[in-house]
Chains A and B, each alone.
Chain A
Amino acid sequence: MNRTGHPGLYVHVPFCKTKCPYCDFYSVPETGRAGKWLRAVLEEASRYSREFPRFDSLYIGGGTPSLLGCDDIGYLVTGLKAIFRFDDGAEVTIELNPDDVTKEKLALYRSLGVNRASLGVQSFDEEEVRFLGRRHSGRQAGEAARLVAEAGFAEFGVDLIYGLPAQTVRSWRKTLYQALSYEPAHLSCYQLTVEGDTPFSRLSREGGLELPDDARGADLFLAMSEYLSGRGFAHYEVSNFARSEETVSRHNVKYWQHTPYLGLGPSAHSFSGRRRWWNHRGLDVYLRELGTGSSAVEDSETLSEEQMRLERLLLGFRTMWGVELKDLPGEDRANRLEDLRKKGLVEVRGERMVPTLTGYLFADRLPLMVSE
């Protein structure tokens, strides 16, 4: 696979028009402080210019980046380009919300050098988008997908959510079918998960939310993988599919391969290859710290060799590239490997063990199963 080894740059846009009840990414439901945030991000960026001179990917995520006005997004991208060097052909991604998508905005993004658009569709089904608390309809999502598809980005990706209360394998296939009709190069399909402190988690505690159990989750997962593989997509990460090797999300793969990345903005995480640090989550704190010349970093950790190895396992088993055999510890690793192979969870390819489709289903357990 394509490993340039150059770091990636992530910018967290902490604004949303409305908060979706399942989402626990950090954002505030307003855009009034976008200008302040923007100046703070560029201030933060300039402090890293020496440590991170060069990137080969930029990922503008959030939050809702498409909520930013044309001036702001222009200022952000040109500002970052002035501070850092980006490789020729760097991957530049922006996340879009369907009801923000207009022809004009898309043209602007293209002119700024954005070559990858990731559209947060989640579902085309009216009832499902309502359940998910999205501010667009299923129909609007389709419209937006058409506009993005026609806008001429080198790559265009669609995000979907599955594992909704009433969802069946059949209705999930229909959503996938609709998504494919816009010919995206990339699909991210996340099973709906009840996260920390969200309205859904409260609802779930009160017994008002019944999500599929592991068995139905597995059925939906397998149906999805089978459907998309049959249509030429590589299931390259548990929740990600690419039309070809070239359309794999170069930026996201850095997270899974321990390639360094710099995260800017509230709650963003960064990784140097050995050290990981993360910014304060609240916009207020973030602005205050940067405004007073302090660091936005809340905390950090430096990984030991063993921690690095554990992370290689937990990340590796989530991707089709798997894990190097030498990362398996202990004397009886041959037995453990053989056991996993017999259970149909992994295959050995050269010096690596890669998860099978069943292996993906147990990706959270595999690191433990290969441990002594």
Chain B
Amino acid sequence: MKHIRNFSIIAHIDHGKSTLADRLIQYTKLVDDRQFRDQILDTMDIERERGITIKSQTVDLPYVDDRGEEYELNLIDTPGHVDFSYEVSRALASCEGVLLLVDASQGVEAQTLGNLYAALEHNLVIIPVINKIDLPVADVERVKTEIDNELGLDPETAILCSAKDGTGVEDILRAIVERIPPPTGDSEKPLTALIFDAHYDSFRGTIVSCRVFDGTVKQGDTIRLMSQGTTYRVEEVGVFRINREPQKELSAGEVGYIIAGIKTVSDTRIGDTVTVDTRPASQPLPGFKDVKPVVFSSIYPIASDDYQSLLEALEKYKLNDASLVYQKDSSAALGQGFRCGYLGLLHLEIVQERLEREFDQSIIMTAPSVQYRFHLDDGTVLDVDNPLYYPDPGTIESSEEPYIRASILIPERYVGAVMKLCMERRGVNSHMSYPTPGRVEITFDMPLAEVIFDFYDRLKSITQGYGSFDYELIDYRESSLVKLDILVNGEKVDALSILVHRDNARDRAVRICDRLKDEIPRQQFKIAIQGAIGGKIISRSTISAYRKDVTAKCYGGDITRKRKLLEKQKKGKKRMRIVGNVEIPQSAFLAALKTDDE
């Protein structure tokens, strides 16, 4: 056990986490250079494209130090986004130390702080690493000051590194061995292994990633997942190199995987404890919680005949993403679909993109919503995440919405603009601190609903990319909520309804009406598009009637061209939804539901 080190790399997005992981893998010769590709641990296209890590990956790095001692360094790569903070916390709980990566040109950012707090919570040894020192704009001294003042870490312990060209990689490996303690635990005790991730493999079922704290697990054992009480027979245990490598057993201190005929990842819970059924641990490991979705939206197939195919895609998708929840939903405008719950906005985008790209689905996603809480006059409390189930406003005594605490780190010159943005977004209880000269940390309590509506894009744009942002859910607070309906020629388009704070209703209504106006093709009659609260119209735009749609000439060469166009339009018509007598193309739904500003 004294030759094992379990560690993770934590960093603000874009500070070079995946590149450093790549370098460590190359340095330890886990793969030869021929097989190597960048972002090797990020296996999904979407991860590689966006430069983010969505799923954790674990890799066991063989390392021989200067004295010839052999070590197993388990790198547990964590997702780099607040949506997945619970997964991150479970990964950190599996480690004894972390590399805290800071970009030498960007310095400490909001997520760096969030990451640091998470690591401190788990009593981890923190090795600060200043990355990207090769950049001409690198300012190592400034970053050292920030590490001292903002993170409260000894800047002299920071390792200078360029993951890009490999500088400092050896120092890092040495520091991992020297500074991070080996795991402790007792192989003789009953098994306790922490599940920090689970992947789906179409041949083997669920591959459970875990850290063994006490005891041993091997092929043939019957294991019990403690929160569920379910039992499985172990088919294989092993460690992650680049591929899975079966081992005879996993014992205390080790990180690896268990394959036990578990059908879907939803049968496992991240944070759960694995024990052996015949000799169970008396207590599960601490920190388990059931993660609940915080953002909701409905997914409809663009062509209504594709419902079945969407259902199958969701079922398949769900095999590998236990945090997505969904149930049937239906809309008069869009037909049959699904109401889905996500961990956050990024999670929502990932689900959308993967359904489209990996599962070849064409979908319409309704506006993201948070879960609102209504206290009704008969004393019942109703949680509503779908505008469809908005209660009769006459029966509502009071309403509440979820709040977050936002923490924003910016250069001082943007304070005014950011304060203004946060106040526009109903931010309250602001606090400011000046961790280092020239930099400000602002915290605000803000409705989550305001954050999921283009907040991050706006923040980045007003701070020219220098603003960083992190948040945590805090509580529910009283709020004045209304349901905004969108009407096309007097008919409600239910899929476009949203629950919104009263003060924002008009702006949102105007925005949606204008976008629909641009996207709904003119028809032979005038089309009125209205935003309404209850029976009251609060915004209106009009699409004038189209009076002529015929090309002047149609001879030999025009006929093929026109037929091809018609064939295309016919396909498009399948994707049109009819509301009243108005044909609404999918693009109109997509445009109306877009949250950004273009």
**A positions within 8 Å CB-CB of B:** 10, 190-193, 214-215, 217-218, 221, 238-239, 252, 255-256, 261, 263, 267-271, 276, 278, 301, 307, 310-311, 313-315, 318, 343, 360-365, 367-368, 371
Contact with B551, one of A193, A267, A269 (Cβ below 8 angstroms)? A193
Question: Is the pair A255, B554 in contact by a Cβ cutoff of 8 Å?
Answer: yes
Contact with B548, one of A217, A256, A343 (Cβ below 8 angstroms)? A217
Question: Is the pair B566, A368 in contact by a Cβ cutoff of 8 Å?
Answer: yes
Question: Is the pair A255, B546 in contact by a Cβ cutoff of 8 Å?
Answer: no
A278 and B524 CA atoms in complex are apart in Å by 36
Contact with B556, one of A271, A318, A364 (Cβ below 8 angstroms)? A271
Question: Is the pair B566, A238 in contact by a Cβ cutoff of 8 Å?
Answer: no
Q: Does B547 contact A (CB under 8 A)?
A: yes
- Residues of B538-580 contacting chain A, CB below 8 A: 544, 546-557, 559-560, 562-563, 566-567, 569-570, 573
Question: What's the nearest-Cβ distance from chain B to residue A300, in Å?
Answer: 10
Question: Is the pair A367, B566 in contact by a Cβ cutoff of 8 Å?
Answer: yes
Contact with A361, one of B548, B555, B560, B573 (Cβ below 8 angstroms)? B548
- Residues of B346-367 contacting chain A, CB below 8 A: none
A314 and B551 CA atoms in complex are apart in Å by 11
Residues of B within 8 A of A310 (CB): 563, 566-567, 570
Question: Is the pair B552, A364 in contact by a Cβ cutoff of 8 Å?
Answer: no
A192 and B552 CA atoms in complex are apart in Å by 8
Question: Is the pair A214, B547 in contact by a Cβ cutoff of 8 Å?
Answer: yes
Residues of A within 8 A of B552 (CB): 190-193, 238-239
Question: Is the pair A269, B550 in contact by a Cβ cutoff of 8 Å?
Answer: no
A364 and B555 CA atoms in complex are apart in Å by 14
Residues of A within 8 A of B551 (CB): 193, 364
Question: What's the nearest-Cβ distance from chain A to residue B561, in Å?
Answer: 10
Residues of B within 8 A of A214 (CB): 522, 546-549
Contact with A362, one of B524, B553, B562, B570 (Cβ below 8 angstroms)? B524
Question: What's the nearest-Cβ distance from chain A to residue B582, in Å?
Answer: 13
Question: What's the nearest-Cβ distance from chain B to residue A48, in Å?
Answer: 15
Question: What's the nearest-Cβ distance from chain A to residue B489, in Å?
Answer: 15
Question: Is the pair B553, A218 in contact by a Cβ cutoff of 8 Å?
Answer: no
By Cβ-Cβ distance, the 5 closest A-B pairs, closest first, are A269-B556, A218-B547, A218-B548, A363-B550, A190-B552
A227 and B553 CA atoms in complex are apart in Å by 21
Residues of B within 8 A of A252 (CB): 555
A238 and B550 CA atoms in complex are apart in Å by 8
Given contact pairs A269-B556, A364-B562, a sample of 10 additional A-B residue pairs in the complex whose CB atoms are under 8 Å apart: A215-B547, A221-B548, A239-B552, A255-B556, A276-B560, A314-B562, A315-B554, A318-B550, A362-B548, A368-B566
Residues of B within 8 A of A263 (CB): 556
Residues of A within 8 A of B546 (CB): 214
User: B544's closest neighbor in chain A, by CB?
Assistant: A215
Residues of A within 8 A of B556 (CB): 10, 255, 261, 263, 268-271, 278
- Residues of B498-554 contacting chain A, CB below 8 A: 522, 524, 544, 546-554
Question: What's the nearest-Cβ distance from chain B to residue A221, in Å?
Answer: 6
Question: Is the pair B549, A361 in contact by a Cβ cutoff of 8 Å?
Answer: yes
User: B547's closest neighbor in chain A, by CB?
Assistant: A218
Question: What's the nearest-Cβ distance from chain A to residue B527, in Å?
Answer: 15
Question: What's the nearest-Cβ distance from chain A to residue B378, in Å?
Answer: 46
Question: Is the pair A343, B524 in contact by a Cβ cutoff of 8 Å?
Answer: yes
Residues of A within 8 A of B550 (CB): 238, 318, 360-364
- A/B interface sample: 22 pairs, CB < 8 A: A193-B552, A214-B546, A215-B547, A221-B548, A238-B552, A239-B552, A255-B554, A255-B555, A255-B556, A255-B559, A268-B556, A269-B555, A269-B556, A269-B557, A270-B556, A310-B566, A310-B570, A314-B566, A318-B550, A360-B550, A364-B562, A368-B573
User: B559's closest neighbor in chain A, by CB?
Assistant: A311
Interface centre among B544, B546, B556, B570 (most CB of A within 10 A): B556
Question: Is the pair A361, B547 in contact by a Cβ cutoff of 8 Å?
Answer: yes
A215 and B522 CA atoms in complex are apart in Å by 12
A252 and B553 CA atoms in complex are apart in Å by 11
Question: Is the pair B554, A318 in contact by a Cβ cutoff of 8 Å?
Answer: yes
Residues of A within 8 A of B549 (CB): 214, 361-365
User: B576's closest neighbor in chain A, by CB?
Assistant: A368
Question: What's the nearest-Cβ distance from chain B to residue A370, in Å?
Answer: 11
A256 and B559 CA atoms in complex are apart in Å by 9
Question: What's the nearest-Cβ distance from chain A to residue B547, in Å?
Answer: 4
User: A267's closest neighbor in chain B, by CB?
Assistant: B557
Question: What's the nearest-Cβ distance from chain A to residue B543, in Å?
Answer: 13
User: A281's closest neighbor in chain B, by CB?
Assistant: B557
A271 and B573 CA atoms in complex are apart in Å by 29
Question: Is the pair A368, B570 in contact by a Cβ cutoff of 8 Å?
Answer: yes
Question: What's the nearest-Cβ distance from chain A to residue B560, in Å?
Answer: 6
Residues of A within 8 A of B559 (CB): 255, 269, 276, 311, 314-315
A193 and B570 CA atoms in complex are apart in Å by 24
User: A343's closest neighbor in chain B, by CB?
Assistant: B524
A315 and B551 CA atoms in complex are apart in Å by 11
Interface centre among B544, B551, B552, B570 (most CB of A within 10 A): B552
Question: Is the pair A371, B562 in contact by a Cβ cutoff of 8 Å?
Answer: no
Residues of A within 8 A of B569 (CB): 368
User: B522's closest neighbor in chain A, by CB?
Assistant: A214
Question: What's the nearest-Cβ distance from chain A to residue B523, in Å?
Answer: 9
Residues of B within 8 A of A301 (CB): 560
User: A221's closest neighbor in chain B, by CB?
Assistant: B548
Residues of B within 8 A of A343 (CB): 524
Residues of A within 8 A of B522 (CB): 214
A371 and B547 CA atoms in complex are apart in Å by 21
Question: What's the nearest-Cβ distance from chain A to residue B574, in Å?
Answer: 9
- Residues of B76-118 contacting chain A, CB below 8 A: none
Residues of B within 8 A of A360 (CB): 550
A311 and B522 CA atoms in complex are apart in Å by 24
Question: Is the pair A190, B567 in contact by a Cβ cutoff of 8 Å?
Answer: no
A84 and B14 CA atoms in complex are apart in Å by 75
Question: What's the nearest-Cβ distance from chain B to residue A25, in Å?
Answer: 9
Question: What's the nearest-Cβ distance from chain B to residue A296, in Å?
Answer: 14
A343 and B548 CA atoms in complex are apart in Å by 14
Residues of A within 8 A of B553 (CB): 190, 193, 239
Residues of B within 8 A of A238 (CB): 550, 552, 554
Residues of A within 8 A of B557 (CB): 267, 269, 278
Question: What's the nearest-Cβ distance from chain B to residue A299, in Å?
Answer: 10
A237 and B547 CA atoms in complex are apart in Å by 18
A367 and B570 CA atoms in complex are apart in Å by 9
A365 and B524 CA atoms in complex are apart in Å by 10
Residues of B within 8 A of A364 (CB): 549-551, 562
Question: What's the nearest-Cβ distance from chain B to residue A321, in Å?
Answer: 14
Question: Is the pair A371, B573 in contact by a Cβ cutoff of 8 Å?
Answer: yes
A307 and B562 CA atoms in complex are apart in Å by 11
Interface centre among A263, A313, A364, A367 (most CB of B within 10 A): A364
A10 and B557 CA atoms in complex are apart in Å by 12
Question: What's the nearest-Cβ distance from chain B to residue A210, in Å?
Answer: 16
Question: What's the nearest-Cβ distance from chain A to residue B41, in Å?
Answer: 48
A313 and B546 CA atoms in complex are apart in Å by 21
A367 and B568 CA atoms in complex are apart in Å by 12
Residues of A within 8 A of B566 (CB): 310, 313-314, 367-368
Question: What's the nearest-Cβ distance from chain B to residue A93, in Å?
Answer: 13
Question: Is the pair B563, A307 in contact by a Cβ cutoff of 8 Å?
Answer: yes
A215 and B546 CA atoms in complex are apart in Å by 7
